[in-house]
Amino acid sequence: MGLDTELPNLVKIQDATEGVRYLVYTNKQNPTLTVYGSIRAGMAFEPPEKAGLAELTARLLVRGSAKIGPAKLANMLESVGAVASFRNTQDNITFHAKMTSQWTKRVLGVISECLTKPAFRARDLEKEKEQLLTDIRLRDEDTTRRGLRELQEAVYPKDHPYRRDRHGTPQSVKSLRREDVKDYFDNTVNKAPVLLSFAGDIEAETAGKWATRTFPGRKETVVRSDVKDQLTRVVSEGITKEVVMEHKSQSDILMGCIACSRADPDYEPLNLLNVIVGELGFMGRLGQRVRDQEGLAYSATSFLITGILGGNWAALSGVNPKNVEKATRLIREEISRAQSEEVTREELDAAKQNQIGSALMELESTEGVARTSHNLTYYGLGLDYFSKRRAFYEKIGPEMLLETAKRYLDPSKLSTVIVGPKLKV
């Protein structure tokens, strides 16, 4: 067995204060330290009418405090070869830092300053708003990113937070003010549960003291059961939408549907099915059929995106505009095939080995250990998850994947978005 099955013996889990947990993997043989953390205050927890607020808040955190401005912060990190970043995701504001262990005190001090005393300067706010508006324009001009945003709106129920894009809209971002950011930080970010993961040259006591100083007690953020329940009640008939971009030379075809949350028992068989359909080898069955055999696509793949409030599955292919109709038909045929006939034992075994091997490769670095330990704990899967998954894999056969495909990948209920030059009929 490898490091994946040894995690429960190597990683310590402790509570720092109410609502703040931390994990520590100590490795004195590695003179580096990685810290990965999450605050449950991402896009899903911002007010719907202030879309983009969590994104703007996360971007402003890296601009430092009244004591440490952006230029000084960058110098304090870069001068010792350290990196630190903050990011808004669908569920969390995450932060990541990596350093050599001799600079642990300095870098953790910088992170703590950003998370406890952010300045939210007016000039920084305007700079970040302008950059965010630029990113939105770039998103809407990119066929893939635009298609993904349109597909999210198509598959999720009207009031589900995952239906929104984390960047917001031009209108919502332009309306955001400093008081909005400060209120969100004070009343949402500062009160949301925190999970920290340390991996490398650090003692548990040191990590615990930093966690306690940086994060006062938190109240548990309610994970809305009504939002999660929406997905179980969804009866989607699927829609087809064309987004015309006449100046583009490529069309993107996206098909998708509601899936499950990361902690759902259906996740493992659905994930293995996705690996077979759109990842294994070179873009799975989709790549083999649409790209290799028919030569219609530059790419053809699929992916499964999951969070605490649900998830979605999507197939994606970039094609010459004249091949849209045929490529769309072939993608549907492959999805229908997954729902009408069992995958082969060889495909299933390869998919399982792919996932086992990917986990082992991820755990080769302190960064991977920190991120993996965090995610397993965050979703309530347990540090012994990989051992349990190996046992569960033994029970997953082709028939289980077929039943999973029938529940999730009904071609008649898939939504389709096509982005590119207008289709010729």
Residues 193 and 246 in one domain: no
Residue that finishes a domain, picked among 223, 245, 279: 223
User: Residue 265: helix, strand or coil by DSSP?
Assistant: coil
More confident residue, 70 or 412: 70
- Rounded average pLDDT over 349-367: 95
Separation CA 196–CA 361 (nearest Å): 22
The 10s digit of each residue's pLDDT in 247-261 is 999 999 999 999 999
Give the domain extent around 117. Answer: 3-223
Residues 194 and 297 in one domain: no
More confident residue, 218 or 382: 382
- Evaluate whether residue 184 is within a structural domain: yes
- Evaluate whether residue 338 is within a structural domain: yes
Residues 219 and 255 in one domain: no
From 89-103, 136-150, 216-230, 362-376, the region with the lowest mean pLDDT: 216-230
The 10s digit of each residue's pLDDT in 324-340 is 999 999 999 999 999 99
Residues 253 and 192 in one domain: no
The CATH number of residue 312's host domain is 3.30.830.10
Residue that finishes a domain, picked among 166, 196, 223: 223
- Evaluate whether residue 42 is within a structural domain: yes
Residues 143 and 250 in one domain: no
Report the pLDDT value the prediction gives residue 110, as an integer from 0 to 100: 96
- Evaluate whether residue 294 is within a structural domain: yes
Quote the mean pLDDT of the chain. Answer: 93
Residues 17 and 114 in one domain: yes
- Evaluate whether residue 425 is within a structural domain: no
- Is pTM, for the whole model, over 0.95? no
Asked if pLDDT for residue 91 goes beyond 90, the answer is yes
State both tokens at 349.
Answer: 């075994």
Contact 416, 238 (CB under 8 A): yes
Q: What percent of the chain is modeled with pLDDT above 70?
A: 95
Residues 200 and 291 in one domain: no
More confident residue, 233 or 364: 364
Residue that finishes a domain, picked among 197, 223, 249: 223
Contact 210, 115 (CB under 8 A): no
Q: How many domains does one find in the chain?
A: 2
Residues 185 and 80 in one domain: yes
Residues 303 and 359 in one domain: yes
Asked if pLDDT for residue 373 goes beyond 70, the answer is yes
Residues 172 and 276 in one domain: no
Residues 164 and 289 in one domain: no
Q: What confidence tier does 94 reach under pLDDT thresholds 50, 70, 90?
A: very high
- Evaluate whether residue 135 is within a structural domain: yes
Residues 173 and 232 in one domain: no
Contact 10, 72 (CB under 8 A): no
Q: What confidence tier does 13 reach under pLDDT thresholds 50, 70, 90?
A: very high
- Rounded average pLDDT over 378-399: 96
Asked if pLDDT for residue 173 goes beyond 90, the answer is yes
**Could you please report the per-residue DSSP string of 83-143?**
EEEEEE-SS-EEEEEEEEGGGHHHHHHHHHHHHHSB---HHHHHHHHHHHHHHHHHHHHSH
